[in-house]
Amino acid sequence: MAIDWFTIGAQILNFLVLIYLLKRFLYRPVLDAIAAREKRIAGTLAEAAAMKAEALKEREALHARNDAFDRDRTTLFAKATEAADGERKRVIEAARVAADALGEKQRQALARDARSMGDDIGRSARTEVFAIARKALADMADESLEARMTAIFIARLAALDASAKRAASGMLDTANGPAVIRSAFALPAPQQVAIRQALDAAFATKVAITFETAPELVGGIELVGGGEKLAWSLSDYLKTLEKAVTDVLSAKPPETIAATT
Amino acid sequence: MRLSPDELVYWQWGFVHLNATILCTWALMAALTLGSALAMRRLSSSEDRSPWQNLLEILVTGIKDQIGSIGLDHPARYLPFLGTLFLFVAASSLSSIIPMFEPPTGSLSTTIALALCVFVAVPVYGIRSRGLGGYLKSYIEPTVIMLPFNLISEASRTLALAVRLFGNMMSGAMIVAILISITPLLFPIVMTALGLLTGMVQAYIFSILAAVYIAAAIRAPSTPGKTAPTPAEPLAT
């Protein structure tokens, strides 16, 4: 078997051409595709790593923000709680003050009402009592009582002291007309004469008088002249008593009433 | 009986002739190139790629990894030479099952041509890696006395490459041809399948031995593992 040198040379050339062709159509495209894929995968991995790092950074920042937020929230919550507590105390104090003021007002109003009611009741009772008393005395009054009162009037005139006599004399002097003797019942002539004599004797002069009947006196006799009067009548007694009762009730302290309500 | 496809000459003009070896080699070259071009026609660098692209990627990366496992740095630099050696020999062995097709590696001319390519490639890579002086110095290491032995080693291993591949491929084809003539069909089929396995093993052995020779040439004996600076572009051969 002889060696064919032409075939050897041709095969060498063929092999070199095949190397070129496979390098051109196989090795380089395949290796380039693999390199491009690896580069893309590496890029993707690097991008993923960068995104992961960024995500970790964001997470750390988020955690930090959350921590700061929690701290701020705690602080704000404490401040808000403290402010709310203070506000609550303030509102409660204000409400208490307002309630106290209102209670005080109510107590005062109640006291006023009680006082007013007490006054009204007292006034009514007083009026009724004195009306009843006046009616009772009026019912009981008659000529005999009138005669007795005339006697007492005369006795009083006689018992006037000097200053009282001067005052009464001045009253009679300033009168434009005759003095008036007013009585609840018409005085009989003897009693009128006795009264004239008693006046003359008391003032040591002739006193001009007239007689009038005044049922509102209930009982008793008045000497009226010059805008003044000298009286002794049950009506005056009752008025004096009523005034004294009114003064006593008015002088009663409010605390006593408030304490009783 | 024809021992080599070289003997089947289709055209001759003086020294120049066209025999079955050359024609079958061209057919294999066309098949490999067209197959690669078609598979790479819709090349995709994404995860969505064709099965043919996947197959070729597995093939190329497998060869590249094998080259790297030999100890060659930047295996992509040696991929065109060693990968083409493997693909050519493997395709030639596989083509033996095609009727009327003569495997080019069944020709001593082809195996000698491939062995000569390895014989030239080893010093080329060695000189590129270590420089001319460094490469030539490797022939007198560890001592000058080793020079003739190293030269004999270079020549003998080249011859061994050529004869080993030729012997295996030729013997397989011969055995099948003889068995077909004397036995029924079943036994030659088994032997053909065995021949395919043998051919793939031979392709692997041939390319691995070439890689080992290149690795031995580019590596300085005194500094094992240390190689000269390499260019950034691995495929710039």
Looking at residue A20, its pLDDT comes to 96
Average pLDDT over residues A222-235: 76
Say whether pLDDT at B237 is over 60: no
**A232, pLDDT greater than 80:** no
- Residue A12 banded pLDDT, cuts 50, 70, 90: very high
Q: Do B235 and A31 touch (CB under 8 A)?
A: yes
| Chain A CB contacts of B166 below 8 Å | none
Query: What confidence category does residue A2 fall into, taking pLDDT thresholds of 50, 70 and 90?
Result: low
What residues of B are in contact with residue A16 (Cβ under 8 Å)? 117
Selected residue with higher pLDDT from A229 and A261: A229
What is the residue-wise DSSP string for B176-212? HHHHHHHS-SHHHHHHHHHHHHHHHHHHHHHHHHHHH
Query: How does residue A8 score in pLDDT terms, banded at 50, 70 and 90?
Result: very high
Contacts of B43 in chain A (CB under 8 A): 29, 33
pLDDT for residue B236 is more than 50: no
pLDDT at A52: 95
Using an 8 Å Cβ cutoff, are A176 and A217 in contact?
Answer: no
Q: The dihedral of CA B11, B16, B19, B23: what is its sign?
A: negative
Quickly state the pLDDT bin for A252 (edges 50, 70, 90).
Answer: low
pLDDT score at A16: 96
Q: What is the average per-residue pLDDT within A214-243?
A: 76
pLDDT at A231 over 90: no
Please judge whether A12 and B117 are an interchain contact, meaning their C-beta atoms are less than 8 angstroms apart: yes
- Residue from the list A1, A12, A40 with its beta carbon closest to the beta carbon of B108: A1
pLDDT attached to residue B221: 57
In chain B, domain spans: 18-28+51-218
> Whole-angstrom Cα distance, residue A238 to residue A219?
11
Q: Average pLDDT, whole number, for chain A?
A: 82
A7 touches chain B (CB under 8 A): yes
pLDDT of residue B159: 85
Distance from the Cα of B222 to chain A's closest Cα (Å) equals 33
Is omega for the bond preceding B142 within 30 degrees of 0, making it cis? yes
Residue A160 or residue A54, greater confidence = A54
Q: Is the pLDDT of residue A122 over 90?
A: no
Is the pLDDT reported for residue B176 higher than 70? yes
Q: Which of B4, B43, B117 sits opposite A1 (nearest CB)?
A: B4
pTM recorded for the entire structure: 0.58
| Residue A17 pLDDT exceeds 90 | yes
- ipTM of the complex as predicted: 0.87
pLDDT by residue (tens digit) across B187-235?
A: 777 877 888 888 899 899 999 999 998 998 887 655 444 444 443 333 4
Residues of A with Cβ-Cβ distance to B210 under 8 angstroms: none
User: A103 pLDDT exceeds 60?
Assistant: yes
Say whether B108 and A3 touch across the interface (CB within 8 A): yes
- Calculate mean pLDDT across residues B157-168: 82
pLDDT score at A54: 94
> Which of A1, A3, A5, A7 would you mutate first to test chain B, the one with the most B CBs within 10 A?
A7
Average pLDDT of chain B to the nearest whole number? 83
- Give me the pLDDT at residue B58, please: 93
Whole-angstrom CA distances from B179 to A16, B107, B185, B188, B192 are 36, 20, 8, 6, 10
Residue of B nearest to A18 (CA): B29
Section A96-113 average pLDDT: 86
Residues 6+ apart with CB under 8 A from B222: B141
Average pLDDT of span B10-26: 90
Tell me the per-residue pLDDT of B56-92, one tens digit each, with 9 for 90 and over: 999 999 999 999 998 888 899 999 999 999 999 999 9
For B97-132, the pLDDT digits (tens) are 888 888 898 888 998 999 999 999 999 999 998 888
Q: What is the pLDDT of residue B92?
A: 92
Residue A83 is which amino acid? A
DSSP A153: H
> Which of A13, A18, A44 would best serve as a mutation to test chain B binding (most B beta carbons within 10 A)?
A18
Residues in chain A: 261
User: How large is the average pLDDT for residues B173-178?
Assistant: 76
- For residue A213, is pLDDT > 60? yes
Q: Which of B4, B46, B56 is closest, CB to CB, to A30?
A: B56
Sequence spans of domains, chain A: 1-140, 142-250
CB contact under 8 A, A14 and B26: yes
Q: How confident is the model at residue B2 (pLDDT cuts 50, 70, 90)?
A: low
Contact check, Cβ <8 Å, B109/A8: yes
Under DSSP, is residue B57 helix (H, G, I), strand (E, B) or coil? helix
